[in-house]
Amino acid sequence: MRLRLVPQETNWDFMRYRNLTFGGSVVAMIAAIAVWLIVGLNFGIDFLGGTTIRTESTMAVDVGAYRAALEPLALGDVTITEVFDPTFAPDQNVAQVRIQSQDGAEAVTPETITAVEMALQTVDPSLTFPSVESVGPKVSGELITSALLALGAAMVAMLFYIWLRFEWQFAVGAVAALVHDIVLTIGIFSLLQIRFDLATIAALLTVLGYSINDTVVIFDRLRENLIKFKKTPLVDIMNKSVNETLSRTLMTSGTTLLALIALLVLGGDVIRGFVFAIFWGVIVGTYSSVYVAKNVVLMLGVDRDPKKPSDAGTQFADIDA
């Protein structure tokens, strides 16, 4: 007996509350943008420039004492945060000291780093420094530009691909779903103040790929059904297409989430932001494939002139996948 997450045949009305779900998505995007503009992102050292020193000790982290020890060094903006992780041992106390780039310098000098370490060891002589990361302000600015270009290029390439394979309405719907996924992911990072760095950009690109893959699978079935059922209302064909691909969607999303949950729990704090971005992206990407991409296509409509059977459903029906 094979395990089934859903019955072999389903007839759930996914589009019944399409106005409510699409409106909720729009409101969520506006809220995410508002949080982003008001709260801002917790940029990592990759984008801010400066130096991050990771400390580790058997004694509890005293952020106030650390800050007091560093004040005489006049380092400018210094951020000290304690790192919590379920994989840490009971006597493993970790903190991160982030120092802004100094005026006129590409990075914090080795002498400054040594002075910081010595100052911190006056508070806790058992402190060790497992890692030190430095990025200059010029490099960080270039990284921001490259990250934005990477996201933009990925979305333009996907827009072109969907337009070639389907109709332009499908391309607009797919890109709208991608924008939805990216905005909500950035919004949750801003709300929870999770560190936003280059690893997060890599996660966002992964989310784009996952989301467009799920959308294309449903679009493929929708295209087939548009050709097969020329007189059936478009909303009914959309429901049928989502139902027919539901088992595949749940299996793919479910197995991916199982692996991501394991990484979230056991992977450690270093990769937690990267894993969380993909975890959240899989959830919103699966949602947007149905309730954003399909809603946009439904609003724009599809050319289904029965006098042009070769164009029913797609003007590029013969292009291979």
Same domain, 119 and 242: no
Which of 141, 247, 157, 246 shows the shortest CA–CA distance to 208? 157
Q: What is the pLDDT of residue 200?
A: 86
Same domain for 298 and 208, yes or no, is: yes
SS3 233: coil
Q: What pLDDT was estimated at residue 313? A: 43
pLDDT for 318: 42
Could you say which of 135, 154, 182 is where a domain stops? 135
Domain that residue 90 falls in: 50-135
Beta-ladder partners of 91: none
What's the predicted TM-score (pTM) here? Answer: 0.73
Structurally, the chain folds into a number of domains equal to: 2
Pairing of strands 42-43, 195-196: parallel
One domain, residues 80 and 102: yes
**C-alpha span between 249 and 219 (Å, rounded):** 13
Looking at 135, 154, 183, the residue that finishes a domain is: 135
Please check whether residues 144 and 131 belong to one and the same domain: no
Q: Return the closest-CA partner of residue 51 out of 139, 146, 142, 156.
A: 139
Sheet-wide strand order for 128-135: 78-83, 93-100, 50-57, 128-135
Residue 164 inside a domain? The answer is yes
Cα–Cα distance list, 66 to 219, 261, 262 (Å): 56, 34, 34
Question: Domain boundary residue among 85, 100, 135?
Answer: 135
Mean pLDDT per 10-residue section of the chain, whose length is 321 residues: 64 83 92 92 75 86 86 79 80 83 64 86 87 69 77 82 80 88 92 85 86 85 83 85 84 87 79 88 89 86 58 41 36
Determine, yes or no, domain membership for 301: yes
Give me the amino acid identity at 247: S
At 310 the pLDDT is 43
The values of phi and psi at residue 11, to 5°, are -140, 50
Whether residues 127 and 168 fall in one domain: no
**222 found inside a domain:** yes
